[in-house]
Amino acid sequence: MKPIMIIAVNAFRETVRDKILYNLVLFALGLILFSLMLGDWSVFARVNVIKDFTMAVMSISGLLMSIFIGIGLVQKEIQRKTILTLLAKPLPRWHFIVGKYLGLLMVLAMNLAVMTLVFFLLLRYIGERPTPSLVTAIYLIFMEMAVITAAALLFSAFSTPTLSALFTLGIYVAGHLSGDLLNHLEFIRKYGQRLPGTPVITPFTEKLIHFVYYAIPNLENFNIRGRVVYNLPIPEHYVLYTSLYGLVFICIYLLIASLWFSKRDFI
């Protein structure tokens, strides 16, 4: 574990010394402050708008960090050949992948902590008390970003930075829509015969839909912002099961990335 943590701390140090992090954090903080105005303009309850918008900003800024920093962490090492000296140390290559991943998680956690602090100060400013359920929602945003970061690292282990960014963005978008696939399937099954012009679902298409659903993480599982903002109950053990669900994807992505990375030639 020690070498992994050494690599993680170095990846963290690399990122906090990079200007791109500060640009992203400042951008996010600006947007959080903007939520004050948005709350005033909205027809909905001010505090709900502020909560919903701020957590959405946290999610998006985490996504941007995963893409811009996560992909660069591995690709930069390969392109600048700094990886040669590192991999020549008596370490298995998966240490490098996991170390880089943990380093970026530290950055994401720090970023979320800073934004949470500003968010809670903002709530205090408008006379609201931060609730523990908000922390739960923010924790699940972190878990979602942890999954996305693992995907970004996987793509960057075998693809170019631009393609990796596109693939990661693709996973993010598809991950938020994959739940709808099953909903549509269910809908067509129930009402398809009654509605003329509804496409017929063949067994192959059905299997394909199920495959896509299980292959891509359903990122909507990590989104409990609506429930938290409107004080709806969160099912028992929901956070635990969702965390385990995320962990499974993280492990699979890191495993594939490590396997690919360990077979790769570094010219």
Partner 1 sequence: MIRVEDLSKTYRIGFWMKKVEALRSVSFEVREGDLFGFIGPNGAGKSTTIKILLGLLKGDGGKATLMGKPAGAPASRLGVGFLPEQPYFYDYLTGREFLWFYGQLSGLGWKDLRTRVDEVAELTGMKREAMDRNLRTYSKGMLQRIGLAQSLLSRPKLVILDEPMSGLDPMGRRDVRTLLKNLHAQGITVFYSSHVLSDVEAICTRLAMVVDGTIPRQGTVAEVLADEAEQYVVAFDKEFSKNGPPEGAGTAIDARTVSCPDLGAQKHLLQWALAQGLGVESVSRNRHSLEDVLAREVAKHA
Residues that bind partner 1 in the complex, under the rule CB under 8 A:
2-3, 6-7, 10, 13-14, 17-18, 80-82, 84-92, 263, 265-267
CA distances from 261 to 55, 72, 100, 155, 250 (A): 34, 15, 13, 11, 16
Q: Are 181 and 209 in contact (CB under 8 A)?
A: yes
Query: Checking phi first, is residue 264 left (phi over 0); if not, alpha (psi -120 to 50) or beta?
Result: beta
By C-beta, is 87 or 239 nearer to partner 1? 87
C-alpha span between 36 and 118 (Å, rounded): 12
Phi, then psi, of 3 in degrees rounded to 5: -60, -35
Residue 79 CB, shortest distance to partner 1, in Å, is 9
H helices then E strands: how many in the chain? 11, 0
By C-beta, is 2 or 194 nearer to partner 1? 2
Residue 90 CB, shortest distance to partner 1, in Å, is 4
By C-beta, is 85 or 183 nearer to partner 1? 85
By C-beta, is 7 or 31 nearer to partner 1? 7
By C-beta, is 79 or 193 nearer to partner 1? 79
Residues 6+ apart with CB under 8 A from 55: 119, 134, 137, 138, 141, 225, 228, 229
By C-beta, is 14 or 144 nearer to partner 1? 14
By C-beta, is 85 or 231 nearer to partner 1? 85
Residue 113 CB, shortest distance to partner 1, in Å, is 22
C-alpha span between 97 and 149 (Å, rounded): 12
HSE at residue 124, side-chain half, CA atoms within 13 A, is 6
Residue 66 CB, shortest distance to partner 1, in Å, is 20
Name the one residue in this structure whose structure tokens are 């690919």. 260
By C-beta, is 236 or 265 nearer to partner 1? 265
Q: Are 171 and 217 in contact (CB under 8 A)?
A: yes
CA distance between the termini of the chain: 28
Residue 91 CB, shortest distance to partner 1, in Å, is 6
Q: Count of CB atoms within 10 A of residue 237's CB? A: 10
Residue 64 CB, shortest distance to partner 1, in Å, is 21
